[in-house]
Chains A and B, each alone.
Chain A
Amino acid sequence: MSPRDWLVGTVVSATQQTPNAKSIVLDVPGWHGSTAGQHVDVRLTAPDGYTAVRAYSLASTGPGQQVELAVDLIDDGEVSPYLVEELRAGDQLEFRGPLGRWFVWKPEQTAPVQLIAGGSGVVPLLAMIRAHTAAGSSVPMRLLYSVRSPSDRFFADELVAASGVDLTLVYTREVPDGWPMAPGRVTKELIASTTTPATANPAVFVCGPTGFVEAVASALVDLGHDPVSIKTERFGGS
C-alpha cells in the first residue's frame, strides 16, 4: 500500500466539536499509521461518478487502524458541509494518505515546540500534542490557540487536560465570563508575550486560515525567528 492508493474507511463516530464542526473517527483496515502533522485527501463520489477531493489533517497519530479527522463547515463549500452535516456512523469514506513530510513533528526532535493555531488549524497540532504525550516527551511544547468564541474551540476538554502542553487561548469575538482580556486578534505583541521567544530557537508550527497564517508567520519573523524554523500549513480562505 502506498500513500497514493485510495483506501476505504468506515465511519465509527461523528462527534460535534463546535456548533459548526465535527470530528470523524474512521476504522481503516490496513492503515499503517501516520506522523503527527500529516493529512489525507478525502474523495466524495456522486451517483453520476463526479468526484470532489479536499485535504484534511489527521488529528490522530501513530500506529493503529483508526484515524480521526475534524472538519469545520465552510458555508458555501462543496465537501465540508457533507462531512459535517451528512456523514454518519456506518458510512464509508474514501481517502488516501498519509500525505506531507514537511509539516510534521516527531518525538525524536529535541528543540522546544511552539504551536500556533487558528480555528480548525488546531487539528494537525493536536496530533503533535498527542504524539508528544504518547512518547512521554520532555521537550517543552506550547500552544497559542485563537478561536472566535468559547464554543468554537476544537477538542476543548482534551486540550485543557493535556498536561504536556502549555496552552494559551485567544478569543477574537467573544470571551468566557470573567476572562481577563477583551476579545481581539492575535497581534505581534500578544505573540511576543505568550510564546517561546526566538532566543530559545523553537520549532514553530503555524496552521489555520491563510490570512491568519500570513499574519502570524510575518509577526514571528519580525520577532526574530529564523524563517526556516517556522513551518506553515494554510487551510484556505482569506
Chain B
Amino acid sequence: MAIFSRGFTGRPREAQPDLPPGQFLTEDFPVLSAGPTPTIAEADWSFTIKTELGATHSWSWDELQALPFEDVHTDIHCVTRWSKLATNWRGVSMDTLFADVESSYDYVMVHSTGGYTTNLPLEDILDGQAWITTEFDGEPLEPDHGGPARMIVPHLYFWKSAKWVRGITMQRSDAPGFWEQNGYHTYGNPWREERYS
C-alpha cells in the first residue's frame, strides 16, 4: 500500500503521455556516467566484434562512415527516472555490423573506453533494435553523451546504451557487466521497472 504524502500534489499532469512506470519527462539531456568523460579522436576510434572462435570484425571511423546510416527516432528512458520522447539519432544498425559474424553464443558484452562494460542478450541488439550512433539531433554526438560513437538500445534502460563504445565480445552466458555488477538489473526493461538487482 502506498503512503500518501501529506501536502504533495505534483506537477500538473493532464497531458502525460504513456511513460514507463516511475519515469518523468524531461526536455534536458541529463548525464549519467561513473567517471570522467573521455576525449576520443575519430582517428583513434575503432569498433571490433570478437567471437568465441577468435574471429574479429573491425571497423575504423572511416570504414564505419562508409556503411549505410539510418535515422532513428525513439524514446529513451534513464534508470535515474527521466525519459525523453522522440529523440533523433543517426547510426549504423547492429544488423549491418553482425551480417558476417558467426557465433553460437547467445549473449554479448559491450565494451567502452575507460573499461566500462554492459551485458545484453544478442537477440536484443538485432532486428532493428540497436545502433552504433554518431549523431544526436543532427549534430555530432557530444563526448559527455558518449561521442564520438555510442551504442543505443532504446527499448532497455539507457545505461545499456554504452557510451564511447569500442567493441562487443560474444559470451556464452549472461555474465554481468560493470553497471550490472554495481547494482543495476541484469536486463533492464523499463516497462517492468527492472532498475536494480
Given A82-B5, A86-B8, A100-B31 contact (CB < 8 Å) = no
Question: Main SS of the interface on chain B?
Answer: loop
A-B contact pairs, 6 of them (CB 8 A): A3-B183, A78-B24, A82-B8, A93-B5, A100-B182, A103-B34
Total inter-chain residue pairs, C-beta < 8 Å = 98
Cα–Cα distance between A43 and B8 once the two chains are bound (Å):
11
- Complex contact A232–B33 (CB within 8 A): yes
- Complex contact A45–B34 (CB within 8 A): no
Question: Interface size of B by Cβ–Cβ distance < 8 Å?
Answer: 33
Interface stretch among B9-17, B45-53, B67-75, B117-125?
B9-17
The bracket for how many chain A residues form the interface is 35 or more
Contact of A45 among B5, B28, B31 (CB under 8 A): B5
Given A214-B144, A234-B30, A236-B30, A82-B7 contact (CB < 8 Å) = yes
Cα–Cα distance between A122 and B94 once the two chains are bound (Å):
41
Which B residues fall within an 8 A CB radius of A?
2-11, 13, 22, 24, 28, 30-38, 80-81, 114-115, 144, 181-183, 195-196
- Complex contact A102–B38 (CB within 8 A): no
Kindly provide the distance from the CB of A238 to the nearest chain B CB, expressed in whole angstroms: 8
Given A46-B4, A52-B24, A232-B10 contact (CB < 8 Å) = no
Chain B residues near A49 (CB-CB < 8 A): 2
Interface stretch among A12-20, A66-74, A223-231?
A223-231
- Complex contact A102–B2 (CB within 8 A): no
Interface residues of A in 92-120 (CB under 8 A from B): 92-94, 99-103
